[in-house]
A and B are shown apart, each in its own frame.
Chain A
Amino acid sequence: MLVNELKKSFLISLWFMFLTFPIMVIRVNTVENIIQWRWANLFFVGIGSFVLSALWRYLIRRKEQGIKKTEVDGVARVTLSQRLLRERRFTIPALIVIAIVALAFPFVFSLYQTNIMITALIYVLLGLGLNIVVGVAGLLDLGYAAFYLVGAYSYALLNYHFGFGFWTVLGLGAGMAALFGIILGFPVLRLRGDYLAIVTLGFGEIIRLIMENWNEFSFGPSGIANIPRPGFFGVEMNFEQVTVYVYFLMIALSLFTIFVVNRLQNSRIGRAWIALREDEVACQAMGIDKRKTKLMAFALGATWAGFAGVVFAAKTTFINPASFTLWESINILCVVVLGGMGSIVGVIVGAFILILLPEYLRFLSEYRILAFGTVLVLMMVFRPGGIVETVRRTYQYEEADH
């Protein structure tokens, strides 16, 4: 048994040493015409793949057993996170602590930290928005950053040309993004799921490239600078005060988002989204208009990208198309996938992990995207529900109700 496992691991590690040999070991310097042989890497790959392959097989076996077990028992396992989230004894104190930390944060920590927090909150908004589309309705949108862009440019351009203020555009920008969601969604939403992913990716890139090339309209790659920060009834604020103000604005906006998304999920429409994700054909046969329901998810998701875009433009005071690449869309997708598709708490946790960890582990920043890729694969293979698996509030019927 053990010998067998060791043999397997050994063979796999040989395989990986072979596989990574040219790229990991040899490096060619074409300028000076020398070849570097990095034999140490081969050793690391060997050891690493030996250990990881054993771990991989163990986890796969455990997963398979888990599936079998639920099949036999007929009951779905309730995970620890799910139990904790259901337990009022635990959630209420936790909420209080979170509220206190959130309120005190900008006064305790530095401006720099507060700014990072604002970024994290922007991703909470983006994540919750995308979660409606991907997590709840099951539509893989790889062009989500385009709606983020629409929000940001709405503010920048409306302000530049017409002097519109932040608060006016906050609603307008979200509306514009929703409109774009509907315009783009109309033709693409009849496509099969995987085509949808590619087409939204295409749309996202088209919009970004147009902004990059259409200088007269968008000022091209150089972007738009000097976008005013949000105002507060005309009160003059210094940089520090504005940051704190934006921070609380984001807290408020996040709470608003959580409230709305939660209500939507637990409504007739939210139910239809979940059913659509489960089985489109059956859903239509039950009288649900597939196009309309998908379009609603798409437009609502876009709305939140619009909000986030406006805040982003106001916070950084400078935007250009480079902030809204495909990579940005994937980043937001990671937030949703890591946290837990369809789970509000999950997405919030995901946003904080993905934004804060890289900030505090800067020495690992080179490996960031590598890690994201790994996370996406590993999450899908071992924990498709994310860190915080959905605790969807199911409708319960109690006899005492009537």
Chain B
Amino acid sequence: MEYFFELFLGGLTRGSIYALIALGYTMVYGIVQLINFAHGEIYMIGAFTALIVISVLTMMGWNQIAILLIAAGVAVIYSSAYGYTMEKIAYKPLRQAPRLSALISAIGMSLFLQNYVLLAQTSDFLPFPGLIPDFEFMEPYAHIIGSPELVIIITTTIVMISLTFLIKFTKIGKAMRATAQDRDMAMLVGVDVNRVISMTFIIGSATAAIGGVLIASHIGQINFYIGFIAGIKAFVAAVLGGIGSIPGAVLGSLILGWTESFFTGYISSDYEDVFAFIFLVVILIFRPAGILGRSTAEKV
């Protein structure tokens, strides 16, 4: 039973991290109907930026908690800046182009960013310090769940709630929903669509950066390629939940996290990475709209 709980919480942690990345996919897809292939790279850049900040500040002898917060903050700022710039370069000029073009451009962007980091930094795995301290009050439960896991789950929950709040109640959130429904119509009623799209990329990138910092400190190492697998898995999660739907992204991520956790825990870890793909193929074939997505007939 304890093993089951361990796997359950492990799956929850995994799922939370997938959720932070999946949100970006889902938001961008909801607004511009584009699979942002390079989204995983934004997450990776977030992790790298954090590592650099941490290393510099550690050598300057700062306090650990302060380092964690500053690193996360800088990572968020930089990831958002990359997301914003990427949209301007690789997607904005292609808004009127066929979807195939934008997709190819996204793949190009992903290759570029991966190799940019590879060349400017290193291809080796770099150790990433575990920044989250062990809380004393967690001690009695330490055999089931560690403090880092707890922090990850709580952070994800907070991000999720604030995002839902942002989209439901703020002005930019309303503009986002309007743009997602019908871009031309939104433009006609005076929504600044360019700004909405930029904001979407910025917010999606910021949550990805938070995910990047948390997972890097959880796993303990990073390299330029981590964005790819994480990105694919988060994408699967977004599709599973119903792409375009924010609760869907969270639900899909949790389901994927748990399935992976139980599968590797009880059966075998050989095919861990294949698993997400098989999942994806099966969902898309049997329920292409995802769990919470509504299947809509294309208007003709």
Contact = CB atoms under 8 A, between A and B. Distances in A.
A and B directly contacting (CB within 8 A): yes
Interface string B230-256: 001001000100000000000000000
A199 B121 contact: no
A111 interface: no
B131 interface: no
B281 A377 contact: no
A43 B99 CA distance: 37
A60 B116 CA distance: 24
Contacts of B208: none
B55 A370 contact: no
A46 B270 CA distance: 47
Interface residues of B, number: 64
A14 to B, nearest CB: 12
A203 B119 contact: no
B52 interface: yes
Interface stretch (A189-197, A250-258, A355-363): A189-197
Contacts of B93: 60, 63, 381
The 8 closest A-B pairs by CB, nearest first: A376-B108, A373-B111, A373-B112, A202-B277, A28-B55, A377-B108, A380-B105, A370-B115
A138 B99 CA distance: 10
15 contacts: A19-B78, A20-B120, A22-B53, A23-B116, A23-B117, A27-B120, A193-B99, A201-B232, A370-B119, A373-B108, A375-B108, A376-B105, A376-B111, A378-B108, A384-B97
Given A199-B280, A333-B104, A373 B298 contact: no
Interface of A is mostly: helix
A375 B270 CA distance: 36
Contact of B52 (A28, A187, A201): A28
B45 interface: yes
Contacts of A210: 274
A353 interface: no
Specify which of A15, A18, A198 lies most central, judged by the most chain B CB atoms within 10 Å of its CB. Answer: A198
Contacts of B113: 373
A366 B118 CA distance: 10
Nearest to B35: A194
B139 to A, nearest CB: 30
Interface string A179-223: 000000001100111110111011101100110010000000000
A370 B232 CA distance: 20
Interface in A20-42: 20, 22-24, 26-28, 30, 33, 35, 41
A53 B116 CA distance: 18
A26 B277 contact: no
Contacts of B288: 191-192, 195
B18 interface: no
B109 A373 contact: yes
Interface of A: 15, 18-20, 22-24, 26-28, 30, 33, 35, 41, 60, 63, 134, 138, 140, 142, 187-188, 191-195, 197-199, 201-203, 205-206, 209-210, 213, 281, 330, 333, 337, 366-367, 369-370, 372-381, 384
Contact of A370 (B82, B101, B112, B127): B112
A281 B299 CA distance: 10
A202 B85 contact: no
A381 B102 CA distance: 9
Given A35-B59, A198-B35, A22 B78 contact: yes
B107 A330 contact: yes
Interface of B: 33-35, 45, 48-49, 51-53, 55-56, 59, 74, 78, 81-82, 85, 89-90, 93-94, 97-105, 107-117, 119-122, 126-127, 232, 235, 239, 270-271, 273-274, 276-278, 280-281, 284-285, 288, 298, 300
A394 B68 CA distance: 63
A376 B277 contact: no
Contacts of B239: 195, 198
A22 B49 contact: yes
Contacts of A333: 104, 107
A24 B127 CA distance: 19
A188 B281 CA distance: 8
A51 to B, nearest CB: 15
Contact of A377 (B33, B97, B105, B274): B105
B61 to A, nearest CB: 12
A106 B235 CA distance: 48
A377 B112 contact: yes
Contacts of A30: 55, 126-127
B277 A203 contact: yes
A345 B181 CA distance: 42
B111 A193 contact: no
A187 B109 CA distance: 29
A267 B113 CA distance: 41
